[in-house]
Amino acid sequence: MYIDRIADSIEHTPATIYGVSNQYDATSSALYTNQIISTDPPYYDNIGYADLSDFFYVWLRRSLREVYRDLLSTMLTPKAEELIASPYRHGGDKKKAAEFFETGLGQAIQRWREQGHPDYPTTIFYAFKQAETTKSGTASTGWETFLTGVIDAGFTITATWPMRTESPGRSIAQGTNALASSVVLACVPRAEDASLATRREFITALKQELAEALRLLQSGNIAPVDLAQAAIGPGMAIFSRYAKVVESDGSPMTVRTALTLINQVLDEVLAEQEGEFDSDTRWAVAWFEQFGMEEGPFGVAETLSKAKNTSVQGLVEAGVVASQGGKVKLLGREELPDDWDPATDARLTEWEAVQHLIRALDRQGETGAADLLRKLGSDYGERARDLAYRLFSICERKGWSGEALAYNSLVIAWPEISKLSRSQESGDRRQNGKEQVEGAKFSGPGRLAEGACLCAGRIPFDGRVSKA
Ligand SMILES: C[S@@+](CC[C@H](N)C(=O)[O-])C[C@H]1O[C@@H](n2cnc3c(N)ncnc32)[C@H](O)[C@@H]1O
């Protein structure tokens, strides 16, 4: 399986120029001045590269020593310079091992900043251990230390992008809590005249800029599960463009605090997007946040409905909730009517749209969901997708992983669903056009204009034909 994958990658790599590889110590070498740097550094003691390499090295050395004299000159692979946090190299001291790693990585980052090409960002792939994340999604110690190192080295982080870079099938991932994904950081040297900012100024800038950045990420169809990670990019871009963000007591703001504030503002921005939804949907989101798909008291539902400018009766009529015996409950996807048609729904809500889309995706796959999206129309569909982001973030915070998966899956499948829906739509138009054209042919005096083509796809959308 792995050999096939490697062969596949080689086949699809547009490698037409000659490549060279050299071995240098990233913390001290000065041999890559003005180069474009894209790097995948080690992560603490995750993998003992040099020790592992020895297993193969001894055999390679026997067979290739005459070909690569310099590279294979040592009995074993170099260990002292290796940037890992291996306690056994520090007399069993974990703290010293971590310090060695962090200091060395800091030095390497400093070199990248000094020696990278000024016109191109340096990109750093950083391994990210999911299990280390806290509620805020990102406040892991390793991650913070790394971001601090990058900023202290004089970089401004301009983007962060999560990537599935690790294969779940690789041997280290089996039965262990191995790294699940990486984050790519794009970094440019910070302007020399970067100014200071107060905590308040930083928060104001976050509020002003994150909403637009978030929109952009959503329109790029970022998976909801990756949104919080990706939003760190624009947030950190703001934090790291200042020489320092100063707290009210004069101390510099830590990366941990900055990350917490970024996550808070992200939550606020997502909540603000709710303003775009209809009243029934806004009620459903608030109810969902409190009760999930469980029953809740009628009184609470009624009070909430006043705040959201709707009524429980209206919500029942809209097909959003069931209300019985003093209890109210959101309708589960399995309880939704099979023959639902948005065109005949007198009280259409984004809430229903998203639930029906998920159900269609689940039962009939992308084609079924596309069929529904076509009936909903693209504007309505886009709002349903925004709602999926919002619901995902609620589920994630509450630890409702099954429900979260449903919203994440919808967004991930979205590009294919909307592509299918558009092609179904143009198929419909063509079909319509054809019927009208045929209608025109048989209805007597009308006839096709000279040169008009009857082949599928070439008939004008509205099916109009010129009359001679
Ligand atoms: C995360 S791995 C890179 C893996 C690579 N992207 C791949 O897919 O095979 C980190 C690499 O950094 C190397 N490394 C560790 N210390 C180093 C140092 N001081 N200078 C240069 N490279 C080092 C390790 O040997 C390892 O190959």
Domain identity same for 73 and 93:
no
Of the chain, the percentage scoring pLDDT greater than 70 comes to 83
Q: How far is the CA of 45 from the centre of ligand 1 (A)?
A: 12
Nearest protein CA to atom 10 of ligand 1, as residue? 42
167 — pLDDT class (breaks 50, 70, 90): low
d(CA 414, CA 420): 10
Three-point CA angle 229, 231, 237, nearest 5°: 115
Average pLDDT over residues 127-152: 65
What ligand 1 atom has the least distance to the C-alpha of 41? 10
- Of the CA atoms within 13 Å of residue 30, those in its CB half-sphere come to 1
Residue 368 belongs to a domain: yes
Domain identity same for 211 and 342:
no
Strand partners, 35: 116
Domain identity same for 33 and 56:
no
What ligand 1 atom has the least distance to the C-alpha of 25? 20
Residue 196 DSSP class: E
164 vs 436: which has the higher pLDDT: 164
pLDDT number for residue 468: 28
pLDDT number for residue 263: 86
List, for residues 382-436, the tens digit of each pLDDT value. 899 999 999 998 998 899 999 999 999 999 999 999 999 988 777 766 666 555 5
Secondary structure element (H or E) that encloses residue 159, with its range? strand 155-163
What ligand 1 atom has the least distance to the C-alpha of 83? 16
List, for residues 250-271, the tens digit of each pLDDT value. 999 999 899 889 988 988 888 8
Domain identity same for 13 and 94:
yes
Domain boundary among 226, 241, 274: 274
What ligand 1 atom has the least distance to the C-alpha of 43? 1
Average pLDDT over residues 425-451: 47
Q: How far is the CA of 116 from the centre of ligand 1 (A)?
A: 18
Residue 28 belongs to a domain: yes
List, for residues 209-245, the tens digit of each pLDDT value. 998 888 888 888 888 877 877 888 889 989 999 999 9
444 vs 229: which has the higher pLDDT: 229
List, for residues 274-295, the tens digit of each pLDDT value. 888 999 999 999 999 999 999 9
Q: How far is the CA of 276 from the centre of ligand 1 (A)?
A: 47
CB distance 46 to ligand 1 below 6 Å: no
d(CA 235, CA 220): 18
Domain identity same for 266 and 358:
no
Are the beta carbons of 384 and 352 closer than 8 angstroms? Answer: no
Secondary structure element (H or E) that encloses residue 204, with its range? helix 199-219
Q: How far is the CA of 40 from the centre of ligand 1 (A)?
A: 7
pLDDT number for residue 432: 62
d(CA 62, CA 32): 31
pLDDT number for residue 39: 93
CB distance 26 to ligand 1 below 6 Å: yes
Residue 304 belongs to a domain: no
179 — pLDDT class (breaks 50, 70, 90): very low
CB distance 234 to ligand 1 below 6 Å: no
Q: How far is the CA of 84 from the centre of ligand 1 (A)?
A: 9
Secondary structure element (H or E) that encloses residue 215, with its range? helix 199-219
CB distance 403 to ligand 1 below 6 Å: no
Residue 451 belongs to a domain: no
CB distance 27 to ligand 1 below 6 Å: yes
Domain boundary among 58, 77, 96: 77
Domain identity same for 373 and 260:
no
Are the beta carbons of 204 and 190 closer than 8 angstroms? Answer: no
Structure tokens at 139: 């406040």
Domain identity same for 56 and 192:
no
Domain identity same for 341 and 258:
no
Domain identity same for 88 and 71:
no
Residue 64 belongs to a domain: yes
Q: Which residues constitute the domain of residue 68? A: 50-77
Q: Hey, what's the torsion of the CAs at 419, 424, 426, 430, to 10 degrees?
A: 160
> Could you please report the per-residue DSSP string of 328-381?
EEEPPGGGS-TT--GGG-TT--HHHHHHHHHHHHHHHHHHHHHHHHHHH-HHHH
d(CA 326, CA 195): 59
Residue 450 belongs to a domain: no
* SS3 at position 188: strand
Domain identity same for 159 and 203:
yes
CB distance 49 to ligand 1 below 6 Å: yes
Average pLDDT over residues 143-170: 78
Query: Which of 83, 105, 128 is the best mutation target for the ligand 1 pocket, counting ligand atoms within 8 Å of the beta carbon and taking the most?
Result: 83
Domain identity same for 362 and 257:
no
pLDDT number for residue 435: 53
Residue 184 belongs to a domain: yes
| Exposed / middle / buried, residue 131 (Cβ in 10 Å: 0-12, 13-18, 19+) | exposed
Residue 318 belongs to a domain: no
Domain identity same for 255 and 353:
no
Q: Answer yes or no: is pLDDT of 121 > 70.
A: yes
pTM for this entry:
0.68
Q: In whole angstroms, how far apart are CA 391 and each of 31, 205, 265?
A: 50, 26, 17
Nearest protein CA to atom 6 of ligand 1, as residue? 40
Tell me which residue of 40, 24, 189 sits closest to 116, measured CA to CA.
Answer: 189
Give the chain's domain count.
Answer: 3
